[in-house]
Amino acid sequence: MPTITLNKRVFEELVGKKLPLEQLKDRISMLGTDLEKIEGNEIVVEIFPNRPDMLSESGFARAFSSFIGVKTGLRQYEVKDSGQKVIIEPSVKDVRPYTACAIVKNMNLDDEKIQEIIQIQEKLHLTYGRNRKKAAIGIYPLDKISFPISYRAEVSEQIRFWPLDSTEVMTASKILTEHKAGKEYGHLLTGQKKYPLFRDALGEILSMPPVINSHFIGRVTPETQAVFIECSGFDFRVLSICLNIIVTALADQGGKILSVALEYGKNTEVTPQLHPMKMKLDLAYINARLGLKLSEKEAAALLARMGYGYEHGTVLVPAYRADILHQVDLMEDLAIAYGYENFEEEIPQVSTIGEEDNLEKFCRKVREALMGLGLLEVKNYHLLMEEQLNQNMNCSRPLISLKNAVGEHNHLRNALLPGLLKNLAENQHHQYPQNLFEVGKIFQRGKTDTGVKEITSLAMVLCHEKTDFTEMRQLLDALMVSLGLKAVIKESQHPSFIEGRLGTILVNGTEIGVMGEIHPAVLVNWELTVPVVALEIDLEKISAS
């Protein structure tokens, strides 16, 4: 989990109250964060991943001030129209299609505040932005920019600019191979024929996200009085929240927030939008699970201590909160405000003896055997895109889609192999061989209460220049020996594998899965240039045999 370093003096000024040292330590720990140390004028705090809004002095002080009762309730931030716009060109559609932008004036920066800006940018990149893959952030001196700004994609051969922390003008390809930031983040543009750019009205490059800013426009200094901020990525909602986190933190430092119009063809969006999200409070649900009897008035007061507003049964959620999705999220904050130390300890009136599930015992044995054979275990998300699950795999199997999907990963996975191939595609900049396995749930239509059946499966991939069917068969035989079983391979067909180089796997006469060499068309779909051999089997069928 990320840690942030706070200037204690600045932090206390932002909080609006100075607490005795021991009380300060206690209250920080009870806010739902992990205090590492307080030494001299330095506070080091570990922030849980669900609270990216606390990854700065301003954001943490805002939450802490509300928690200890100094400045409670929903913070109001005024946003004025800047009259400026950013034009998003269609060329970025297949690269990084979205951006959210803002202007903040009256910055009154010094070295301390600049370090704070650098810290929040770096921490958001690492956590909420998933190391710049999900969101990349650029902050620029406003006085060096001519509007309107265009967000576009250009072929790499035409891109030349002086990147930050370099001594010369470089081409895009040279930046990715020679510049420190290019080496670290260039893999995020691997396979793209065009690279995204922010250019101002004079054609000057602001940055090439998600890699590097321009030397001339991309550096904030103590002389900077106003900044232009952009967040780029693949999900407009994610970028909007990321932008809200940054601008509210800068506003708490004294900045004035101005909105920017974003022209997406015929559609126009305006960011930032700092209006609170509204969510109905199910107090009966929360009381039942917390074992409390909070009245609506008491719940509203506790919510105010966590920075929320409340109106007629509706919670007003701050626009910078990325973690409030369900009643359980409100319940967690109510529990924090109530005080974990105030809950009475109770011994459950149940007498049971815990025992590990037999299937879990079997899966653990499989994991231990495969790790002993030199494979690396991964854990992927249950949600993927339809394209990744079917089109990329050269097949058309039934899928289960989410009813109210927020992002593009909107289908439950029907197999583990697409996730493993995605892992390989995203890690081509690392050394080979890359031999991976995953034990996890896949989802199919079935006769259950939800209509969805969960199946525990195993998938394995071997990826290096000399891998073949024989190598995977040897690993399968070794796994079966460790489980006291014997596998038989029967010739078969499958669109994801090379014909004649695959087979159906049988154990005790029952078909349990398939293995083979991945078809070249599938490798092309995933933009893989190294051979892959794969296997996927149903562990529930094996454990029952």
pLDDT tens track for 93-127: 989 999 999 999 998 888 888 888 988 999 999 89
Residue 350's pLDDT is: 79
pLDDT at 108: 86
Which of 511, 508, 501 has the alpha carbon at shortest distance from 531?
Answer: 501
What is the distance between the alpha carbons of residues 209 and 197, in angstroms, rounded to a whole number? Answer: 7
The sheet with strand 400-401 has its strands ordered as: 383-384, 411-412, 400-401
Q: How far is CA 453 from CA 138, 165, 442, 444, in A?
A: 44, 53, 8, 5
The structural domains of the chain, ordered by start, are: 3-67 (3.30.56.10), 79-271 (3.50.40.10), 277-339 (3.30.56.10), 358-544 (3.30.930.10)
pLDDT in tens, 431-478: 999 999 999 999 998 888 788 899 999 999 999 999 999 999 999 999
Give me 254's structure tokens: 């004294």
Q: What is the pLDDT of residue 503?
A: 94
CA distance 203 to 223: 24
CB-based contacts of 527, cutoff 8 Å, min separation 6: 190, 191, 425
Check whether 184 has a pLDDT greater than 70: yes
The alpha-carbon radius of gyration of the chain (Å, integer) is 27
Q: Residue 410 has what pLDDT?
A: 85
User: Which residues are within 8 A (CB) of 430 and not within 5 positions of it... i.e. 6 or more apart?
Assistant: none
Mean pLDDT check: name the lowest of 239-253, 271-285, 338-352, 486-500. 338-352
CA distance 366 to 249: 48
Residue type for position 208: M
pTM of the predicted structure, to 2 decimals: 0.70
Q: Report the C-alpha gap between 13 and 15 in whole angstroms.
A: 5
The pLDDT assigned to 406 comes to: 65
For residues 216 and 468, what is the distance between their CA atoms, to the nearest angstrom?
51
Beta bridge partners, 502, equal: 516
Cβ within 8 Å of residue 113, ≥6 positions away: 107, 253
Q: In the chain, what percentage of residues exceed pLDDT 90?
A: 80
β-strand partners of 499? none
Tell me which residue of 99, 82, 95 sits closest to 262, measured CA to CA.
99
The average pLDDT across 399-421 equals 87
